[in-house]
Structure 1
C-alpha cells in the first residue's frame, strides 16, 4: 500500500473517520468524518487548498508572475510554446525564440515544462543541441516550457501547513558513490534496492536520456568503475521522486526562512504548500535566495523514508490536514 494512503488510514482511525480506498491501486480514497463532512484524496492530493490557488500553483509561469508581483525573488525566465499554440494565440514565442532567449541569458540554462511535476524533463542545457533536444521532447507531451537562468546553490524544500513549518530538507540530486569495484550501473541498481528496502517505490529510470548525457559530460559510461569514495551525480534536478535524497533541516532552519515560507503560502492563497528555493545555507540568516516554484500538493513519501523522525513529521502533517478537512464549513445552496 502507498505510504500516503497508509498514513491517512492510520490518522483517520485516530479521529474516528471512515476511509474507503480503491482496492486495485490504493492511491485514491474517500473519507467520511464523524461530523458528516466528506473529502477525497488522490495519492498526496487532498482538497485542502482552494481550486483556483491550487491551479495557479501548478502552473510555474503563473505562480512566478504573482510571486514577483508580491516582491519575492523568483527565477528569471520566460515561457515558450508549441507551433500550434503559438498560431492559436498569435504569439511569437516559439521554440526558436526560446533558443534566442537562452543565448540572451547565457548558457547553461534550465529548460522545464510549465505544468509537469516531480522534475520530469527538467534539464540543465549547456548548448544549442541540448536545448533543442529537451525542448522538442517537452513539446511532444505538453504545449509549453520555460527557459530560466541557472542559479548555483543548494536546493531546499520547506513544507508549510497554515502558519506552521512542518518539514524542511535539502534535496540532493541522484548520485552514486564508487567502491572501486562496481560499475556505475551496478551502483545504481544497488541504490534502487536500497530505495525499495526503505519503502520508496522503484523510481530510477535507467533509460532517462538526462542520465546518459550527464555521464557523457563527465566522460563516463554505465560500464565505468568508480574509484573508492568518488561521488558522481547523474541528474541536475534534485527531486526526490527522480532518485534524489533528502538531508533534514527541520530543526535548524533559520527563522528568516520560516517567515518567508509562511508568508508565501498565505500570499499564494494556499493552506498547504511545498516551497522550493535555492540558497547557500538555509540554517543561516537570509541574505540571498531564489524561489524555484511552489507546490500545492507536496508529496512527502520519499522524505518519510529518511527515518522515524521524518515519518512522525509526515504523520503530524496529515493529522493537521484531516483535522482541517473535518472542520471545514459546508455551504449548501438553496433553490
Structure 2
C-alpha cells in the first residue's frame, strides 16, 4: 500500500528532529509522533492537535463559521442554510429545499449551492435555473442534512495558508479546464489532463462521471465527443479546489501585506493556529480594495499544491517541520 503524501512528509521531517512516527498499517494516514523529549502527538491525515477540536469543527461548518466571521466584521458571502425535510421537522424549521429555491430566486441566478460540511469542493455547484437547483440540492441531501445557497461573486479564488503569525503559502486556484488543440475531442483532452496529473504525482483526480462537468459542457452546447478549437479554454468545473483538478498559480512571494494581515487576523479570530483561508479578490499582490471570504479550513490539504514543483514541496515540508517543532515543545496534553 502506497504511503499517503502527508504521512511520508511527516516521516521525513520527524527524522530530521529525531522523532519517531508509528503509523497504523491498516489506516496509513493515521499515526503517533513520539518526540525526543517524550512528548507525543497524534495526527490524522492533515489534522494535528495544534488546532483545538472545537475551532476545527466550527471552521468545518461553513454556515456557522460564516456567522462568526461576519460577526467579527469580515466580508463573507451572502447566503442562507436550508435543511432536509426530516431535519426541518426535528428542529421546527421551515427552511426546506423549496424555501431554498425561493431564496435563490431572490438572490438572482446564478447562485452557488454547496453542502454545509463537506470538504474538497464536493458538490459545490454554480446553478443557473430551477432544474439545476433541485438536481444538486437533492444530491446533497442524499449525503448530508443541509446545504447553503449563496450569492455568486466574481473574482479570483485564492488560498492563503497561515501558521500562527506567518503566511506559509498563497496561491490562486484555477478550476479544472482543458485547452483545445483543434483535433482532440473533450474526452481525449480530459484523459490527457488526467495523465499529466498522474505524471506529476497528483493521481487520478478527474471524475469523468461528475454531473457538474456534463452540466457545464451542456451549457456550452458541448459533449465528450466535441472537438475543441485550438487554444480555446473550456472550464469543466466552477469550484477551484485542487483536489478536483484545479491548478495553482503561486503568489507566496508577492502577496501584499494587507492580505497577509487579513489572513493572519482571520486565523486568530477563529482560534486556529493552522488554517487555509479561502478568499475571492481581484489581486492579492495589491492593497486590499475588496474581498469576500469563501471559507476557512482548519485542516488544509497541501498535497496537490506540493505537486506543482520543488519550491512548493519544500514549503510544505517546512510547514510540517514547524508544526512538529511546536507539538514537540508543547506540554504533553492531548487537545483532541
Whether contact under 8 Å (2:40, 2:332) holds in the other structure is: no
Q: 5 Å matches for 1:193-232?
A: 193-232=195-234
The correspondence of residues 55-70 of structure 1 with structure 2, limited to 5 A, is: 55-70=57-72
Residues in 2 aligned to 1:331 and 1:317: alpha-carbon distance in whole angstroms? 22
1:252-298 deviations in Å (ceiling 9; x for gaps)? 10110000000000000000000000001111110100000000000
Runs of at least 5 residues in structure 1 that lack an aligned partner in the other structure: none
Q: What is the distance in 2 between the residues matched to 1:320 and 1:201?
A: 27
**How far 1:40 sits from its partner (Å)?**
1.4
Matched, 1:23 2:25: yes
> Who is 2:184 aligned against?
182
The Cα offsets for residues 22-67 of structure 1, whole Å up to 9 and x where unpaired, read as 3345222111111111111222121210111011000001100000
Q: Report the TM-score when normalising by structure 2.
A: 0.97
Task: Give the Cα–Cα distance (whole angstroms) in 1 for the partners of residues 282 and 223 of structure 2.
Answer: 31
Q: Which residue of 2 aligns with 1:159?
A: 161
- Runs (5+) with no aligned partner, structure 2: none
Separation (CA, whole Å) in 2 of partners of 1:128 and 1:293: 26
Does the residue aligned with 1:104 lie in a helix, a strand or coil?
Answer: helix
2:310 aligns with one of 301, 308, 311:
308
Q: Is the 8 A contact 2:279 2:295 kept in 1?
A: yes
Matched, 1:129 2:163: no
Question: What secondary structure sits across from 1:203 in the alignment?
Answer: coil
1:331/1:166 CA distance change after superposition, 3 Å: closer
State the shift of 1:115 in Å: 0.2
Measure the CA separation in 2 of the matches of 1:47 and 1:134.
35
CA distance in 1, matches of 2:47, 2:192: 31
Equivalent positions of 1:49-198 (< 5 A) are 49-198=51-200
Cα distance in 1 for partners of 2:60, 2:166 equals 22
Query: Cα deviations across residues 175-232 of structure 1 (Å, max 9, x unaligned)?
Result: 0011111111111111111111111121110000000000000111111111111110
Which stretch of the first structure deviates more once superposed, 147-156 or 175-184? 175-184
Residue in 2 that maps onto 1:293: 295
* 3-state SS of 1:141 partner: coil
Question: Are the counterparts in 1 of residues 180 and 227 from structure 2 also a CA contact under 8 Å?
Answer: yes
Match 1:241 to one of 232, 240, 243: 243
- Which whole-Å CA distance do the structure 2 matches of 1:270 and 1:142 have between them? 25
Q: Secondary structure at the match of 1:75?
A: coil
The 1:236–1:17 alpha-carbon spacing in structure 2 relative to 1, beyond 3 Å, is same
Please give the per-residue CA displacement for 1:73-97, whole angstroms capped at 9, x wherever unaligned: 0000000000000000000100011
Give a deviation string over 1:121-165, Cα, whole Å, max 9, x none: 000010111101000000001000000000001000000000000
Give the root-mean-square deviation of aligned CA atoms: 1.0
- TM-aligned CA deviation for residue 18 of structure 1: 0.4
TM-score, structure 1 normalization? 0.98
